[in-house]
Structure 1
Amino acid sequence: MSVVKSIELVLPKDAVYLAGSGIKGQVVLILNSTLVDPTVRVELVGRGYVEWNEEIGASRDYSRDVICNNKADYVHKLKTFPVEDNWLSAGSHTFDFHFSLPPRLPSTFASKIGHVFYFVQASCMGREHILAKKRMYLLVQGTSDFHKENPLQNPLLVEAEKKVSYNCCSQGTICLQIQMEKNTFAPGERVIFTTEINNQTSRCIKTVIFALYAHVQYEGFTPNAERRSRVDSSELLRQEANTQIMPFNTTKIVSTLNLPQVLSVSSCTRDGEIMSTRYELVSTVHLPWSLTSVKAKVPIIITSAPVDPDGCPLPEGATPEQIPDGSGGGNG
């Protein structure tokens, strides 16, 4: 029977940690018997990596792929807890810890090409090897200074118009407009917009789809240290409106999309970054009777304000236990 019965991490459930804020928790170690010369630790780790296969090209050898990858270390902090008299008795022992996240971090992220992940890991070591360990992954929301650079936002209007053909010799025009009070949002916020469809055809329009897309540009290197980039798009949110827009008529649709609690902030690629993200809201009018569609696209900016050193606001969905109080760790 192992001397360590269990080791657990106690952290607020489903908490979202804002870059620059604090992480407070406990390590609970339960022993079956006395442990001599123990080492009990907890570490905070944040890493990112990207990897994809890319054809070298017909000018070289089109039969082979080259692997492009890149990685980054964002944070690595370690705390070793003091143990009185260098031994722990059988039973339960509690160790308190506190870490401060760096003020500039990318958000937790996962795709087929790239990952950004954060975790807290507790471990208990004997004289020669690890006796037990426990890892918990964290949701971290990155921040940006966009709100400082653009304090005011004007109402936005985007229009798309398309002449469509149907019944061989018939033609008509579809005009699609998207109106928004603003196009800059924070993670967890609601995106409210109005879509106006002017149907100048003799056919009925039945389906309008709204979707939010993330376009991520990944930066990597080949084995020969050649810099490469790749853009990949994914649909984050989707909403379908079943409507009856009659011929030669205009209809308005007010829609709401609730953003996820954690999102990469809008950014441009800078030196040392492995990925950058931009967002786009797309309204699509499907016209099956003409085998075509009409799309209007609005660029959306996702931003998250940095932590105020004086106020230290909580991120959405977080709990008061996350606010740093300057306390250290100890054992019980």
Structure 2
Amino acid sequence: MPSITSFSLYFDKVNDSGTFSEGDTISGKVSLELIKWTQILSLYVKAKGDADTAFKAEVSDGDTGTYETTVTGHERLFKVKEYFISTKVKLSPGSYSFPFNLRIPSKCMPSCFHCANGSIVYTLEAKLCRRILSDRTVHQTFEFRSKCAPNCVQMCRQMVSMTEREIWSDESGTVQMEVRLQKNFFSPGEIVPITTKVIKFPNRIMTLEFVLSCLERYCAVGSYIRITRQIMSIDRVQSEEELTNCQILMPQTLPSVHNCKIISVEYKLEGQLRFHRNISKLLGKALPVMVVHTDTPSGAHSKPTESKGAGTAEALLDRATGLLYTDV
């Protein structure tokens, strides 16, 4: 007959969405119910974050050549532990409750992430160790949303890409294109306002195309893979010199990952001009864009109803007025 009838783990939410970020404290309790005297070696709870990768790669086996196998990588992002029982003790039958408070480190860590080649998972785990009988473990995952961004000042600056090119065909001349973003971090479902200015020679019809691309990188021991994907492409016919304000909707896609050693996800937005009766393109210099998964519902970004926290990227954007970054 088992001595433990119940062993469970609970934790409290710190906000309505149930997400945690750097510096937050996870509060909860571990519940234990015994029906007879039980000898326990230790009882503890821990919070941890782990990044893992797994993908197919060509591996050399020496003289016979190479073969394809699955390679894996692992990175421990953080771990904090709290002991309730650290030395051998014998507990009488009854119900026990062990409250805990675990503080997530304030260092920059990536948000939760899941895809076919890798994952970033944050977990709470309680473990009961016994002398003779097998250990008992219970765990729960929690949603981690990072508030840390690389080079926040750079993110909050206005981004500009300017390109110039000479065209030679039945007519010749010079075409200039400028693409401008007020910021470079967006959430899925958010409107991305883009200002474009095209200066060209007459009698030339062109199509302005916006391309959002994603570069993923997954690393393992001695190997890595790079995956480049085009997330979306939008065309707009442009027949004369004009200053245009365009809006595109950021699609549902993977979040940017920038502070993990084995997983990296980056986005670039590029403006391209395609000339009619001429297959050549005027390629603008790509602007880096961050995709940030937030707790704000889609469509709510244009009409914010909550005040901006002092440490959020939006608040930094408000304080960074007047800054300009030009990529020529």
Report the 3-state secondary structure (helix = DSSP H, G, I; strand = E; otherwise coil) of the residue aligned with 2:142: strand
AA aligned opposite 1:195: T
Cα distance change of structure 1 residues 261 and 82 upon mapping to structure 2, 3 Å threshold: farther
Pairing partner for 2:116 from 102, 112, 115: 112
Pairing partner for 1:53 from 51, 56, 63: 56
Q: Deviations over 1:259-303 (max 9, x none)?
A: 989642379xxxxx3344543112356789877766434332659
Q: Deviations over 1:70-117 (max 9, x none)?
A: 322222222232599834625x84623223325243443333333332
Note the C-alpha offset of 1:194: 1.4
Aligned to 1:254: 246
Aligned to 1:230: 225
Cα distance change of structure 1 residues 176 and 286 upon mapping to structure 2, 3 Å threshold: same
In 2, the alpha carbon distance for the partners of 1:151 and 1:201 equals: 38
Q: CA RMSD in A?
A: 5.0
In 1, the alpha carbon distance for the partners of 2:165 and 2:259 equals: 28
Structure 2: where are the runs of 5+ without partners? Answer: 293-308, 314-328
Report the count of equivalent residues.
286
Aligned to 2:141: 136
Aligned to 2:257: 264
Contact 1:35 1:87 survives alignment (8 Å): yes
AA aligned opposite 2:246: V
Pairing partner for 2:288 from 279, 282, 300: 300
AA aligned opposite 1:29: S
Greater relative CO, 1 or 2 (CA 8 Å, sep 6+)? 1
Note the C-alpha offset of 1:178: 0.9
Cα distance change of structure 1 residues 239 and 291 upon mapping to structure 2, 3 Å threshold: closer
In 2, the alpha carbon distance for the partners of 1:239 and 1:88 equals: 65
Determine whether 1:18 maps to 2:21: yes
Contact 1:147 1:303 survives alignment (8 Å): no
Determine whether 1:157 maps to 2:149: no
Cα distance change of structure 1 residues 118 and 246 upon mapping to structure 2, 3 Å threshold: closer
In 2, the alpha carbon distance for the partners of 1:303 and 1:87 equals: 53
Cα distance change of structure 1 residues 63 and 288 upon mapping to structure 2, 3 Å threshold: farther
Cα distance change of structure 1 residues 76 and 87 upon mapping to structure 2, 3 Å threshold: farther
What TM-score comes out, normalization by structure 2 length? 0.61
Cα distance change of structure 1 residues 170 and 257 upon mapping to structure 2, 3 Å threshold: same
Note the C-alpha offset of 1:220: 3.4
Percent of aligned positions that are identical: 10
What TM-score comes out, normalization by structure 1 length? 0.60
Contact 2:81 2:102 survives alignment (8 Å): no
Aligned to 1:326: none
Contact 1:11 1:25 survives alignment (8 Å): yes
Give runs of aligned pairs for residues 1-332 of structure 1, distance below 5 A: 3-5=4-6, 7-12=8-13, 14-19=17-22, 21-27=23-29, 29=31, 31=33, 33=35, 36-37=38-39, 40-55=43-58, 64-65=67-68, 67-82=70-85, 86-87=91-92, 89-90=94-95, 93=97, 95-101=99-105, 103-124=107-128, 128-131=133-136, 133-141=138-146, 143=148, 146-147=151-152, 153=157, 156-159=160-163, 176-183=177-184, 185=185, 192-196=193-197, 205=207, 208-211=209-212, 213-222=213-222, 228-234=223-229, 238=232, 240=234, 245=237, 247-248=239-240, 250=242, 252-255=244-247, 263-265=256-258, 273-284=261-272, 295-300=283-288, 302=290
